[in-house]
């Protein structure tokens, strides 16, 4: 990868980064999962594994799963955020593997949010 040697290089690197993220098989659904210590302690690794398994086994496309840090809502971990087709991001809290399954089935596949687990005011 090219070295960043000036402000112009920085802009170019940024454009390339945007291009790389876009070209990842026409992603239009972003699933973010909080993977800081608090999330992992609350079971985020299981949640992540389930989400990845469902995506792989059902061959869902256009989905990018992103591991992020902590939003600060430690009491509600594991946190999963779903953003579809540039719609506002929906934040879910206390997402156990079962809840994650529901989120994928209902929200990601059919576009219906799962109201019971939505975290308000985020």
Per-position x/- string for 10-29, each x denoting binding to other proteins as judged by CB under 8 A, each - no binding: x--xx--xx-xx--------
Closer Cβ to other proteins, 14 or 109, answer by number: 14
Q: Which of 25, 28, 37, 118 binds other proteins (CB under 8 A)?
A: 37
71 touches 122 (CB < 8 A): yes
Instruction: Name the one range near other proteins by CB under 8 A: 7-15, 55-63, 94-102, 104-112.
Output: 7-15
Residue 99 Cβ, how far from other proteins at the closest point, in Å? Answer: 19
When asked if residue 49 is in the footprint of other proteins (CB under 8 A), the reply is no
Q: Which residue has the tokens 């390339």?
A: 16
When asked if residue 122 is in the footprint of other proteins (CB under 8 A), the reply is yes
Pick from 13, 15, 11: nearest CA to 2: 13
Question: Given the rule CB under 8 A, which residues bind other proteins?
Answer: 1-7, 9-10, 13-14, 17-18, 20-21, 32, 34, 36-38, 40, 66-76, 79, 121-122
């Amino acid at each position: 990868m090219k070295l960043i040697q000036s402000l112009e290089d920085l802009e170019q690197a940024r454009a390339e980064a945007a291009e790389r993220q876009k070209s990842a098989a026409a992603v239009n659904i972003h699933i973010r999962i909080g993977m800081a210590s608090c999330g992992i302690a609350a079971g985020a690794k299981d949640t992540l594994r389930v989400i990845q398994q469902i995506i792989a086994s059902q061959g869902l496309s256009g989905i990018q799963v992103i591991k992020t840090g902590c939003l600060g809502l430690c009491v509600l971990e594991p946190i999963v955020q779903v953003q579809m087709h540039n719609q506002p991001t929906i934040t879910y809290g206390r997402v156990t593997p079962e809840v994650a399954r529901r989120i994928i089935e209902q929200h990601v596949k059919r576009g219906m949010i799962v109201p019971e687990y939505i975290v308000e005011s985020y």
